[in-house]
Chain A
Amino acid sequence: DGGITQSPKYLFRKEGQNVTLSCEQNLNHDAMYWYRQDPGQGLRLIYYSQIVNDFQKGDIAEGYSVSREKKESFPLTVTSAQKNPTAFYLCASSIVGVPNTEAFFGQGTRLTVV
């Protein structure tokens, strides 16, 4: 079955550490996105990418980095510069240029700083 896989489901990070969240899709979608969600809040866009080796900052990119070396993969690194990284992270993908298609989401990664 096609879909998006995020791993791990839960992640604990010590202060000052970088951590990388994995996102893989087999839907052959061109576009991929990373969102951050704080408790009881909406989704805020961190980074997005439309093609391999190209990506753009979203609304809250500071303290995060991404790469897009393969169409299927869009990992997110939460760096030590991110002062408040504890949150729920959602990865999504979609077809570009066709506004009537929905975004597909992974199951999410819950990151906690300990």
Chain B
Amino acid sequence: AQKITQTQPGMFVQEKEAVTLDCTYDTSDPSYGLFWYKQPSSGEMIFLIYQGSYDQQNATEGRYSLNFQKARKSANLVISASQLGDSAMYFCAMREMSANAGKSTFGDGTTLTVKP
């Protein structure tokens, strides 16, 4: 079964508007971390934001926030005030405490295009 599901292959947003990228996950491990990465066309993976399974508050990092709904097993990324430089592929990932060697499981990604 897919552990990380990103149901939006592609998304468009107007510059300066907010956009939500969806991510649902599946795990039976009570201790896990959820991550979002940005991959521009150059290929490098840029870490954006982290949410721990025991965190009471939603994570925020600048224009990025994570809408964490534990009961629904969702961890959606919200980007506020979109910029042209936000156009990239975005990956949701999960690390379970029980995972061998701390390996992460990645979703298939969402390609975000910001329109001027």
Which residues of A approach B to under 8 Å, CB–CB? 30-31, 33, 35, 40-43, 45, 48-50, 56, 58, 88, 90, 92, 94-108, 110
Contact = CB atoms under 8 A, between A and B. Distances in A.
Q: Which of B53, B91, B106 lies at the interface centre, i.e. has the most chain A CB atoms within 10 A of its CB? A: B106
Interface stretch (B18-26, B31-39, B64-72, B79-87): B31-39
Interface residues of B, number: 28
A107 B101 contact: no
Interface in B80-110: 91, 93, 95-97, 100-104, 106-109
Interface of B: 31-33, 35, 37, 42-45, 47, 50, 52-53, 91, 93, 95-97, 100-104, 106-109, 111
Nearest to B35: A102
A39 B107 CA distance: 14
Contacts of A103: 35, 45, 47, 93, 95, 104
